[in-house]
Amino acid sequence: MSLDTSRRPRAVRTGGRPPSDRPAGRRRHWTRRPNPVAGIGSALWLVVVIVPIYAMISSSLTRQDKALGKNALVPPTDPTFDNYNTVLHNGFGHLLLNTVVVAAAVVAVVLVLCVPLSYVAVRSRTFWSGAAFRLFLLGVAIPAQAVVVPLYLMIAKLNLYDSLLAIILPTAAFAMPVSVLILTGTLRDISEEMYEAMALDGASTTRMLFQLVIPMAKGGISTVVIYSALQAWNGFLFPLIFTQSDGPRVLTLGLFNYVSQFGVNIPALLASVVLSGIPIFAVYLVARRALVGGLMGVGGK
C-alpha cells in the first residue's frame, strides 16, 4: 500500500532559516548599550595605574644630577641607560637568582602541602579534617608582624638564620591559608558523579588525587602558583629580619644598595625597581585570567 505524501503539511517559513538549518557553530550576537559611566571610570583607573609607572620609567632614564630638580612627568631631555648599567653591575644577577630560588621553593612547598590538605578537607567528613581546615583559615587573620619575634627565635634555634630557608619557610607558611581557601573552593566544583565513577572502577584515594583532582583543578592550582610566587617575590619583612649578609639577599633588600648615609641614588633605585618587576609582571600577564578566575571561585570550571 502506497502512502499519499501530497497531503502532508509542509513547514511554512516565516523568514530566515528554520532552527534545524542553522549552522551549529553560529552564535547569536547581542548588542550592548554603551555605558559612559563605566567607560569614564575605567579611563580614570587606567590613568591612576599608568601615571606612576610612566613616572618611574621616566625618572630611571634621568641623570642623577638632574633627578631632584626634574618633574617626574616630564620626559628627560637627554635620556640615559647608565642607571640600568649601574644596577646590572651591582650584583643584580645574584639578587635575581636568590629571588627566583625563593619563589620556586615557596610555590613547591605550598603545592605539595595544600593540594592534599584541600582534597582531604573537601572529601573527608571527619571532625579532625574540619578542625584542620578551620585552623588553616585562622592563619588568614594573623598578620606576619604579630609573630615575627617567635619566628625569629624558632629560626635561630634551628640554625637557619641568614639563609634562604629562613625566608622560604615563613613565606610559604603565610601563603598556605589563602591557598587552601582557593583550592577548596575549586575542588568543590568537581561533581560527585566523577568521584563515584572512579570509585566504581576501583580507584584508590591516591589515584583519584592524581588522575581526577589535579587535572580538574588546574585553574585553582594556577591561581595558587601565581599568588604564592607574588608573595615570595615581593616579600620584604622576612628577608629583612631573618637575613644579614649579602649571600641570601633578595631583590627587595637589594634596593638598599642605592641608599647611603648622605643621599639616595633615585634614578638607579627606580631602575632597580623596573628591572625587578619585569619578570613577575610577565608571569602575571600570561596567567592573569587564571588568577582572577581562581580568586572568584570559578577556577575549577
Beta bridge pairs of residue 264: 259
Q: 168 to each of 30, 38, 65, 115, 212, how far by Cα in Å?
A: 50, 42, 39, 18, 30
More confident position, 241 or 22: 241
Q: Which of 14-18, 47-51, 173-177, 250-254 has the weakest average pLDDT?
A: 14-18
Confidence band of 290 (pLDDT split at 50, 70, 90): low
State the angle between helix axes of 266-295 and 36-60 in degrees (0 to 180), rounded to the nearest 10.
150
Question: Cα–Cα distance between 212 and 204 in angstroms, integer?
Answer: 11
Question: Cα–Cα distance between 240 and 221 in angstroms, integer?
Answer: 29
pTM of the entire predicted model:
0.79
Confidence band of 120 (pLDDT split at 50, 70, 90): confident
Question: Cα–Cα distance between 271 and 67 in angstroms, integer?
Answer: 13
pLDDT at site 3: 46
Beta bridge pairs of residue 259: 264
Beta bridge pairs of residue 135: none
Beta bridge pairs of residue 283: none
Confidence band of 124 (pLDDT split at 50, 70, 90): confident
| pLDDT tops 90 at residue 264 | no
* Long-range contacts (CB closer than 8 Å, 24 or more residues apart) made by 292-298: 293/219, 293/223, 294/182, 294/186, 294/219, 294/220, 294/222, 294/223, 294/224, 295/182, 295/223, 297/185, 297/186, 298/189, 298/219
Q: What is the pLDDT of residues 152-185, one digit of tens each?
A: 999 999 999 999 999 999 999 999 999 998 898 8
